[in-house]
Structure 1
Amino acid sequence: MTSVSPSPTILVPHLPPKTLVGIDLITFTSTPNFHGIRDLPAGWHFLYTGTTESLSLRCGGWFFVGDIHPFGAYKKDESALVPAQHANSAPDVIVWRWNTDTETLTPLRASSDADKQKAMRHKANLGAIWQRGGLFSYRSRVSSLVQEAGRPAQFEIDEEDEAEGRQNWLDLTNRLSPGLLSRVVGDASVDVDGRSRWMVTSASTAQRDSDDIPGLTDTAQAAEELEKVMGEKESEFSFLPIDLKRTWREGAIGRERTEAAQDRSWALGDLVQQFSDADGEAQVLGELQFTFLMVLTLMNYSCLQQWKRLLELVLTCRNAIRDRESFMRDVLRLLLLQLKRCDDVEGGLFDLDGEEGGEFLRRLLMRFRRSLYEVVDGTESVVKSEFEKLEAWVKDEYDWELNREVFVRRGMVQLEDGEEVELDMHDNDEDDELGEYAPMVVDLEEGSAQGGEDSDDN
């Protein structure tokens, strides 16, 4: 057998044909000859499977290719440490086996001697698998199929497009870390070579997003049933705690409380300060990346809700535009890149959100634009520069007009029969304190006196 110098490869032996397989931003259906993916670039990757292309539970795992040592060991508690790989290790050859009972990919574990022998056998057979064409070369985007007369069909690779796709994936995952994944997903499982894997499913959820109906839903029993299907215990998401109904400090009253409800910069700062300042901002950005990608690949409902909560918190801040300029710039840059990938979700990302669709984001961006231009007041700002790119893109792609000043909010409209009626737009009444959100003056003394008279009458 010819000696082959292995590139970073993930082997998935005995995967049934016609299984949905996804790696990062592409999906395909496995063939009988498919045994794995080679030429994995360094960095984070997410591999997942589903028994069918739709309407089936999707299960996957995060893993890192290359030297994970610079991240350092993450200590969740005194006994939980994520092992670190070393830079001088051999090229990664990762083996995940197909579990026929649970219909999921599971890593070969270091605690099992049988798994260790299987890993050695599969690695020793790598050259033969390569020569048989059983390894799919990693691609960041779907290649075009070209058919020429008299020649077999081949995939045409646009190197420039491929380089852009890899850079996009890098920009979508550059804030992830072992610490963040362990905080959100739970402790990693470790394979025979000491590599970490963080498992997520389309059914994974945070407690606040789970439907707990007394008499109908037994949370413990549901978790046990899912564990039987998955073959391992399903962990609960531990997202950053965001309460959009209370965005002021303990003990705040009056004007301070009102301002904190309208400008959520204090709540953002309080969230960030749960970690060190720089790490706290990285945690928010990393969670924005994680939740979005889990919606994109697994269509996970709980991650969609947390993604929306994070955006609503950040995009309703005013002081943070000036005080956390680089952070706000990075959020807008990331959001634009994420929106460009929304169509990767079957049916589109916004269609997963029911009737509201993308309206929640359009309203948030309109409100943020108003705050941004009031804060920067004509001065140069990196936040303003990034927002203008985002604004131009959503205008071109979705036809969203984010400048409220161009809308006529009240006017006369002529109907088909010639009758004229006055129309009034109530969008953003909450921000302007108009309509049902308008302040009301109440005479407490008069109300108290009236209450007393009514009591006497009764």
Structure 2
Amino acid sequence: MTSERGNQTPHMDAEKAQVLFEHGAMFLLLNFPEGSEFGIDNYSWTVGPNFRGIKMIPPGIHFIFYSSVNSDHQAGPRSGFFYNFASKEIVVKKWSVQMEEIQMDEVSEAEMEKFHDNKQEMDKYLGPYPYERYKQWVSLSNHITDTTLRVLQPDCGFIYSVAQFESEGSTSQSRQASAVEKSKEASTESSSSSPQKPELPHLKQVIGTNIKYSVVPKQRYPPGSSPSEITKYSMDSSYVLSLLLTERYNKDIDSILGEVQFAFLCFLLGQNYESFEQWKKLVHLLCTSEEAIMKNPKVYQDFISLLHFQVREIPSDFFVDIVTSNNFLTVTLHELFQNLEGDGVDSKLQKKGHSFRKHLTEKFNWDFTSEPDDFAPVVVDT
């Protein structure tokens, strides 16, 4: 393997390496094209001719991603998926040259038995998990659970950086109706001097490829609310948050932190822009839920920690081009810090908020002391 981001995995003492080899999981990927990108969690490589996969994977949830090269050495768009590895588990997948993606079909029991028996022989073809980055990965994924994956992952199993479209199917009736319509259009156009426009194919997103993100409710206040309640919940998103949690997560507010992390990683590692939009919506929703902040101090302490690690991981060019565009993050976090100053907010939570605000101010020179410009609105539709 050739390292593509960061340094090569540093030398690990033999005893620790043996323990990880015995108890860690393996991901075998057969027939993957040489020169392609392969990554796990927050590390990626350009693979060589002998690459067969990754060994010593710590048990738990990980994100595997790849970008293959074709016969002309052109890199394709990135794809990936989450997987919850068990201790000592061996996962075997094969690369499909025709489809240019990983086949998700299960390998036969006979093949699996062969791989288990030849585990030591496979060692030289496997790259070691980048263990020196494991703590970073945990800080970015510790709220993602099996439930998170079951609720959010696309039915096809893959996170695509580019939306998957296909031509709409047609029937004899639809073709007949289309022919009649074209005949009318041709008759009309023949009497005019305007050139005929080329017909474009009708495309639709491939079923099962969309990430099943939560939909932020449009209703901002309870039915039958008084004018004062309407005013309150127009500024406080707590009712919207409560609706979302009831509809999606059985009122478990901890679960939404898993979706925040899932969306962030799908954007950062999976290069899926839809996920960035979802991350913004959820961050804004949590930051502007004043009532929820007072009722759930432990969850919001975890939320601040989550944001701290996410901000640290975002590449600097992303900050300039995306995250700070329209002042999204500074305006949204300003609202969070304002809500943390309210009466009845847990003192430990306030202290953590102050520490986070200080860190952001020192590192990025963001100003949270003055009110945001009235002409810099939050660009999040809720």
TM range, normalised to the smaller chain? Answer: 0.7 to 0.9
* Cα drift, residue 264 of structure 1: 1.0
* 2:26 is the alignment partner of 1:26: no
With over 3 angstroms needed to count, the CA separation of the structure-2 counterparts of 1:428 and 1:315, relative to structure 1, is: farther
Distance between the aligned counterparts of 1:375 and 1:312, measured in 2?
Answer: 21
Q: Which residue of the other structure, out of 192, 199, 202, is the alignment partner of 1:218?
A: 202
What's the secondary structure of 1:298's corresponding residue? coil
Contact 1:108 1:119 in 2 (8 A): no
Contact 1:35 1:135 in 2 (8 A): yes
Contact 2:40 2:63 in 1 (8 A): yes
Distance between the aligned counterparts of 1:375 and 1:309, measured in 2?
Answer: 26
Contact 1:96 1:105 in 2 (8 A): yes
* 2:126 is the alignment partner of 1:135: yes
With over 3 angstroms needed to count, the CA separation of the structure-2 counterparts of 1:5 and 1:315, relative to structure 1, is: closer
Gaps of 5+ in 1: 68-90, 141-161, 190-197, 206-214, 224-232, 406-424, 432-458
* Cα drift, residue 108 of structure 1: 4.0
* Cα drift, residue 284 of structure 1: 0.6
What's the secondary structure of 1:21's corresponding residue? strand
Distance between the aligned counterparts of 1:351 and 1:54, measured in 2?
Answer: 26
Q: Which moved more, 1:318-327 or 1:5-14?
A: 5-14
**Match of residue 370 from structure 2:** 404
* 2:112 is the alignment partner of 1:119: yes
What's the secondary structure of 2:284's corresponding residue? helix
* 2:266 is the alignment partner of 1:294: yes
* 2:295 is the alignment partner of 1:323: yes
* Cα drift, residue 237 of structure 1: 2.1
TM-score (norm 1): 0.63
**Match of residue 62 from structure 1:** 82
TM-score (norm 2): 0.75
Distance between the aligned counterparts of 2:75 and 2:285, measured in 1?
Answer: 32
Amino acid aligned to 2:47: S
* Cα drift, residue 387 of structure 1: 1.4
Q: Which residue of the other structure, out of 211, 214, 235, is the alignment partner of 1:240?
A: 214
With over 3 angstroms needed to count, the CA separation of the structure-2 counterparts of 1:120 and 1:204, relative to structure 1, is: farther
Amino acid aligned to 1:238: K
Calculate percent identity across the aligned residue pairs: 22
Contact 1:43 1:170 in 2 (8 A): no
Contact 2:29 2:53 in 1 (8 A): yes
Distance between the aligned counterparts of 1:172 and 1:427, measured in 2?
Answer: 33
Contact 2:50 2:125 in 1 (8 A): yes
With over 3 angstroms needed to count, the CA separation of the structure-2 counterparts of 1:362 and 1:6, relative to structure 1, is: closer
Distance between the aligned counterparts of 2:32 and 2:39, measured in 1?
Answer: 13
What's the secondary structure of 2:252's corresponding residue? helix
What's the secondary structure of 1:280's corresponding residue? coil
Q: Which residue of the other structure, out of 134, 158, 161, is the alignment partner of 1:202?
A: 161
Contact 1:11 1:94 in 2 (8 A): yes
**Match of residue 256 from structure 1:** 229
Q: Which residue of the other structure, out of 338, 342, 351, is the alignment partner of 2:321?
A: 351
What's the secondary structure of 2:137's corresponding residue? helix
CA deviations over 1:201-234 (Å, ceiling 9, x no partner) = 11359xxxxxxxxx967343x52xxxxxxxxx64
Contact 2:249 2:255 in 1 (8 A): no
* Cα drift, residue 399 of structure 1: 1.1
**Match of residue 329 from structure 2:** 361
* Cα drift, residue 427 of structure 1: 3.7
Distance between the aligned counterparts of 2:96 and 2:115, measured in 1?
Answer: 16
Contact 1:246 1:261 in 2 (8 A): no
With over 3 angstroms needed to count, the CA separation of the structure-2 counterparts of 1:123 and 1:172, relative to structure 1, is: same
**Match of residue 59 from structure 2:** 42
Greater relative contact order, per chain length (Cα 8 Å cut-off, separation 6+) = 2
* Cα drift, residue 21 of structure 1: 0.7
Q: Which residue of the other structure, out of 136, 140, 145, is the alignment partner of 1:168?
A: 136
* Cα drift, residue 240 of structure 1: 1.4
What's the secondary structure of 2:343's corresponding residue? helix
Larger Rg: 1
* Cα drift, residue 47 of structure 1: 0.8
Contact 1:95 1:107 in 2 (8 A): no
Please provide the CA RMSD for this pair.
3.0
* 2:241 is the alignment partner of 1:268: yes
With over 3 angstroms needed to count, the CA separation of the structure-2 counterparts of 1:349 and 1:17, relative to structure 1, is: farther
* Cα drift, residue 168 of structure 1: 2.6
CA deviations over 1:40-63 (Å, ceiling 9, x no partner) = 111111111102699732111211
* Cα drift, residue 106 of structure 1: 2.3
**Match of residue 172 from structure 2:** none
**Match of residue 103 from structure 2:** 106
**Match of residue 275 from structure 2:** 303
What's the secondary structure of 1:48's corresponding residue? strand
Distance between the aligned counterparts of 2:335 and 2:201, measured in 1?
Answer: 39
CA deviations over 1:221-272 (Å, ceiling 9, x no partner) = x52xxxxxxxxx64322211204x5311234352211211101112112222
Q: How many residue pairs align between the two structures?
A: 321
**Match of residue 193 from structure 2:** none
CA deviations over 1:135-165 (Å, ceiling 9, x no partner) = 111114xxxxxxxxxxxxxxxxxxxxx2xx3
Distance between the aligned counterparts of 2:279 and 2:376, measured in 1?
Answer: 25
Distance between the aligned counterparts of 1:40 and 1:284, measured in 2?
Answer: 26
* Cα drift, residue 380 of structure 1: 5.8
CA deviations over 1:57-97 (Å, ceiling 9, x no partner) = 21112111227xxxxxxxxxxxxxxxxxxxxxxx2111111
